[in-house]
Amino acid sequence: MSRSEVLEEIRTTGLIAILRGYAGRAVPSIVESLIAGGCRAVEVTMNSESAVDLIAELAERFKGRARIGAGTVLSPQDAEHAIRAGAAFLVAPNLNPQVLQVANAKGCAVFPGAMTPTEIEQAYSLGADAVKVFPSDVLGPAYIRAVRAPLPNIPLVPTGGVSQANAADYIRAGAIAVGVGSHLVPKAATDGTMPQLVQTATEEFLAVIQSAKRALSPS
């Protein structure tokens, strides 16, 4: 799948699930539940235990069913390792031009983090497919709307503090998708309750997101 196809799939679904700090046998079960709930993009952060091996395992196991990406990609070395493992996209909390250079050279979709209009425009000019606005909860959906006014051509993915209560507001403000972590995969869940909790949370998030997207579509 090309990087443009990855971006379009994320745009259509409107959700990137973020797995941070999960490891071992529980992870494939979590991803299975995310997919069952309708999610098609899952980000494994590089500061998780054995992240590269986990990305490789998930990319192979869920090939054709979900795009497995790497998050918290802070260096070109991280980018190289993640892409080699099979990551379909790279996400970072910051803007590191060297990470974008690796992604662009390898043809991998990349979503660097930025906050100000200057950073957002710079990230896009360096080859970002979309820009992760982080931490989005500091300024909220109104900020996304304000930034979109002068920069309407730059796809934005707010991340940080996104919940079912505000996800639709971010989509209505012009975000193509939102990145969500603990609101999808609760840390307090046990192995027995995790699958259903994750699937239900994913279904509820996507219902809110898709309703907002339909409202924005021309009739």
Residue 98: per-residue pLDDT: 98
* pTM, to two decimals: 0.96
187 has catalytic annotation: no
How many structural domains are present in the chain?
Answer: 1
In a domain, 219, yes or no: no
Grouping H, G, I as helix, E, B as strand and the rest as coil, residue 38 is: coil
Phi, psi of 158 (to 5 degrees): -65, 140
In a domain, 197, yes or no: yes
- What is the CATH number for 176? 3.20.20.70
213 has catalytic annotation: no
Q: Pick the catalytic residue: 132, 203, 204, 213?
A: 132
In a domain, 37, yes or no: yes
Please say whether the beta carbons of 114 and 139 come within 8 A: no
The string of pLDDT tens digits covering residues 180-217 is: 998 998 776 556 678 899 999 999 999 999 999 999 98
In a domain, 55, yes or no: yes
Residue 66 has pLDDT above 70, yes or no: yes
Q: Which domain holds residue 111?
A: 3-214
Residue 23 has pLDDT above 90, yes or no: no
Q: Of 5-14, 16-25, 109-118, 189-198, which range is least confident? A: 189-198
In a domain, 103, yes or no: yes
Whether the ω angle into residue 135 lies within 30 degrees of 0, i.e. cis, is yes
Instruction: Kindly give the interhelix angle for 76-85 and 97-106, rounded to the nearest 10 degrees.
Output: 30
Q: Pick the catalytic residue: 9, 43, 57, 213?
A: 43
Within 13 A of 1's CA, how many CA atoms are on the CB side? 22
